[in-house]
Amino acid sequence: MSEPNGGLSQEEVPEAVVAGRHGFQIVWLVPIIAALVALALLYATFERRGKSIEITFADASGVDAGKTTVRYRDVVIGTVEEVRLSKDFSHIIVKAQIDENGERLLVGETSFWIERPRIGPKGISGLTTIVSGAYIAVDPGKLGGPLKRSFEGLADPPDLLKNDKGLHLTLTSMAGTLGLSQGSPVIYKGIRVGQVTSLKLGKPNTGATIQISIKPAYADRVHSHTHFWNSSGVDISASLQGIDVDIASIATALTGGVSFDTLGEVGKPAVLGDQFTLFDHEKDASREYRESRGLHILLRTPRLESVTDGDSILYRGAVVGRVLSHDLDENGRDILLRVQIDSRYATLVRENSVFWNASGIHSDLGFTGLHVQVSSLEALIKGAVAFATPDKPGKAVEAGALFDLAKESKGRWLKWSPLISLPPGETTAP
């Protein structure tokens, strides 16, 4: 028989030696790389989740976890994760996740509110949410401040956004703010161009202060000669022509509003912080404009008779001015009437012009019978002052010139017909 192991004895068979595996095996790269990728994806996902914040609301109707978004300028920057009651059941706590694009907005002065359909004094807003659903809107504070995680939500949208670049003006009114409220519209030629941002009482005898904001696109419509008036409600006045009803629009009648326009020269463009007077009605604004222009003179009379403030000044039967006010002279014996002649007609008044009371009916009895003189039906009912200038006009007068007011006209005055050229320009209606 042959020997096992090729004829070698057991003692002669070499002992097997198992070589050890030293060094890194390439097979381990696969799970390591997979783990690193998973960690990177996890970190990226965590980073994209951004910051978690809590906002408290008194009412969170329309807000649903996992559906309602957080938006800035209609761009989604987060999503609501949870909606729950506070421990004392006094308010609602909304937990939202803000992504990395919106983290810089989470500063101390940032405001949050729920954008939903609203109809009220501030107008109609949020109609787009009828289709898209309610969302939480953001008005950021000053960027760069310390970050916050807890906020108190607003019940309504703010009247003035912090990043509003509009023209902010101050209006003062001695009559108060009847019909106006925060959010009331500011209207120019029937178009809403801004809103009332705040109202407050001033010091005693200083009336009320109204802050308004004009949208940037319409800021160039406001100038130093612009007039503002309260267009809330309905203004009714009676005259010989009947009853005049002035109403800017149904919306302003119901919710209040401020209207404005620039009469005549526009003046300098308005700048941030300029102050204007808020008149009670449009006609008051127009009257102030008229009275600030033209030639202002004084008429002296021993008795006021039937002349009153607002009466017309007539030249050859045409209205060319008005009586602004009256007061006792310093001597205590005469009445001084302050009269305004419209700018275009100022040249008709000369040093030798004569003025008389054209109110009522004047009569005289002479050889030719009884003569009855009535300037006009309006003068008969409301009162008026007339004047005439001789065929050879004197020099033009300056503001403050003083004339005597005759009780009635003399016959020759009505025959005067001087040739006086009027300058081109607008006339000012009474």
Model pLDDT for residues 116-138, shown as the tens digit of each residue: 876 655 555 555 666 778 999 99
Q: Does residue 245 contact residue 199 with C-beta atoms inside 8 Å?
A: no
∠ CA 257-188-156, nearest 5°, is 45
Residue 37, both tokens = 């990728």
Q: What one-character DSSP code corresponds to residue 23?
A: S
3-state secondary structure of 406: strand
pLDDT score of 20: 53
The candidate with the shortest Cα–Cα distance to 268, out of 229, 225, 213, 227, is: 225
Q: Does residue 213 contact residue 162 with C-beta atoms inside 8 Å?
A: no
Which amino acid type is present at position 258?
V
**String of DSSP letters for 318-371:** EEEEEEEEEEE-TTSS-EEEEEEE-GGGGGG-BTT-EEEE--S-EEEEETTEEE
3-state secondary structure of 221: helix
Maximal CA-CA distance, the chain: 188
User: Which residues, in sequence order, are bridge partners of residue 136?
Assistant: 70, 114
Tell me phi and psi for residue 20, to 5 degrees. -75, 145
C-alpha distances (whole Å) from 161 to each of 140, 167, 217, 395 are: 9, 13, 16, 59
Distance CA 349, CA 165 (A): 49
pLDDT score of 104: 87
∠ CA 316-322-325, nearest 5°, is 145
**pLDDT < 50 positions in the chain:** 1-2, 238-245, 249-250, 361-363, 365, 367, 370-374, 376-381, 427-430
Which amino acid type is present at position 361?
I
Residue 375, both tokens = 């300037």
Distance CA 354, CA 365 (A): 23
pLDDT score of 124: 54
Global pTM reads 0.51
Residue appearing with tokens 């904001």: 213
Taking the CA atoms of 270, 180, 191 and 167 in sequence, report the sign of the dihedral they define: positive
pLDDT score of 178: 74
pLDDT score of 257: 87
3-state secondary structure of 93: strand
